[in-house]
Structure 1
Amino acid sequence: MARAAKIYARRRLSILVALTGLTASAALFDSPAASAALPAPVSGATARGYLSQLTVATEDRTGYDRDLFPTWITVSGTCNTREWILKRDGTNVVTDSACTATSGSWYSPYDGATWTAASDLDIDHLVPLAEAWDSGASKWTTAQRQAFANDVTRPQLLAVTDNVNRSKGDQDPSTWVPSRSAYLCTYVRAWVQVKYYYDLSVDTAEKNALTKDLANC
């Protein structure tokens, strides 16, 4: 059963990679709705099932370079990935002809802060790029890493307070989770969903932390 699930996950990744065989000026997906909501993660039960199937492996970030994960690419019209996420996650967002947010309001689910300037927001890779590299992305092609770094379909990208995102860095849930406890369950469910979809491994401390946090979801 686990083997079949892994094969299915790899097939899904192959499909996603095919979509990213486009130039940087082409859309990653077919005109995603600018008003789309942040994708909800899988249920706690599903996340626990996914976690049980993830490979446990020791981390080694030798060779990681952020430039190996091309960001931000054009997603729809004149909007690149960052701009598209800001439009999706904000309220009453107004943009100019270049899709740059000129006004709006953004709620950061990690810390509960609300911002009215897009410059106060970072677009967080929920599973950080360095973490992905260490968990299996070092073996991917550039197209696969680009797909991961610009994935607007799964709960992998979201607008959050910039300094909170920077304090998180490339940490996994064994050393960092959002300070807003009400978001913890959502965060770990999303983490496991992304790792499962991309067939990424977890280390022992990471799996233990996820197991503990998911028990309450």
Structure 2
Amino acid sequence: MRKVYARRRLSILATLTGLIASAALFNSPSASAALPTPVSGATARSYLSQLTVAAENRTGYERSKFPTWITISGTCNTREWILKRDGSNVTTNSSCYPTSGSWYSPYDGATWSSPSDVDIDHLVPLAEAWDSGASKWTTAHRQAFANDVTRPQLLAVTDNVNQSKGDQDPATWMPSRTAYRCTYVRAWVQVKYYYDLSVDPAEKSALQGYLANC
């Protein structure tokens, strides 16, 4: 295997250890923050060219094999941390549950004032990750993936939009807001590259098409 993948695996393992063992050390996010900026279109195209192309395999998948949500900071779990990061004027109670604020969903352009109307989307869905290589990971590795607040992998969006997306990849689902699609595919490729996940032929073709315009 190429040395770059070996180095990346070492980096992943170090990140996993820090994320799981020292999650409480994360600083609280500001209310004006958003999805970490993905790599550029040119970098995403380069990353995509290096991803393994392989058929997907759903055998043995269970969502419980990707534990969510873990404590990220103080009393805030991953969902609450992302709600604070992605919202505007968010206030929380002592348990870190949002008591006020608003959330703009970049997938569909809707704004919500109740956290119950907002889901935290795994940009690369958990089942998709399983199909693409996560079935071989340890539970700790899958937990880190499912709670990754460092990569552009978690995003607060309209709940029914997230539910309609399900476990689909860009070959069959994209945000209805065309203005967000370049960000979406750049983030998708960055996450797959970082975690050394494969793409299937239709997925790669769709990504190539969208990235051509980024």
Shorter-chain TM band: over 0.9
Percent identical among aligned pairs is 74
- Tell me by how many angstroms 1:29 deviates: 6.0
Q: Which amino acid aligns with 2:211?
A: L
Question: Could you tell me how far apart the structure 2 residues matched to 1:81 and 1:73 are?
Answer: 6
Q: Secondary structure at the match of 1:103?
A: strand
The answer as to 2:207 corresponding to 1:210 is: yes
Question: Could you tell me how far apart the structure 2 residues matched to 1:136 and 1:20 are?
Answer: 20
The answer as to 2:18 corresponding to 1:19 is: yes
Q: Tell me, which stretches of 5 or more residues in structure 1 are unaligned? A: none
Which of 14, 19, 28 pairs up with 2:23? 28
Deviations 1:113-134 (A, max 9, x none): 0000000000000000000001
The answer as to 2:178 corresponding to 1:156 is: no
- Tell me by how many angstroms 1:13 deviates: 1.1
The answer as to 2:59 corresponding to 1:48 is: no
Question: Could you tell me how far apart the structure 1 residues matched to 2:166 and 2:213 are?
Answer: 25
Question: Could you tell me how far apart the structure 2 residues matched to 1:187 and 1:113 are?
Answer: 17
Question: Could you tell me how far apart the structure 2 residues matched to 1:125 and 1:146 are?
Answer: 12
The CA RMSD measured in Å over matched residues stands at: 1.3
Question: Could you tell me how far apart the structure 2 residues matched to 1:146 and 1:20 are?
Answer: 10
Q: Which amino acid aligns with 1:30?
A: L
Q: Which amino acid aligns with 2:18?
A: L
| C-alpha distance 39-29 of structure 1, shift in aligned 2 (>3 A) | farther
Q: Which residue of 2 aligns with 1:197?
A: 194
Q: Tell me, which stretches of 5 or more residues in structure 2 are unaligned? A: none
Question: Could you tell me how far apart the structure 1 residues matched to 2:128 and 2:26 are?
Answer: 29
Q: Which amino acid aligns with 2:180?
A: Y
Which of 114, 125, 132 pairs up with 1:128? 125
- Tell me by how many angstroms 1:34 deviates: 1.7
Paired residues of 1:110 and 1:180 also in contact (CA < 8 A): yes
Deviations 1:136-183 (A, max 9, x none): 000000100000000000100000000000000000000001000000
| C-alpha distance 20-39 of structure 1, shift in aligned 2 (>3 A) | closer
Q: TM-score, normalised by structure 1?
A: 0.95
Paired residues of 2:24 and 2:71 also in contact (CA < 8 A): no
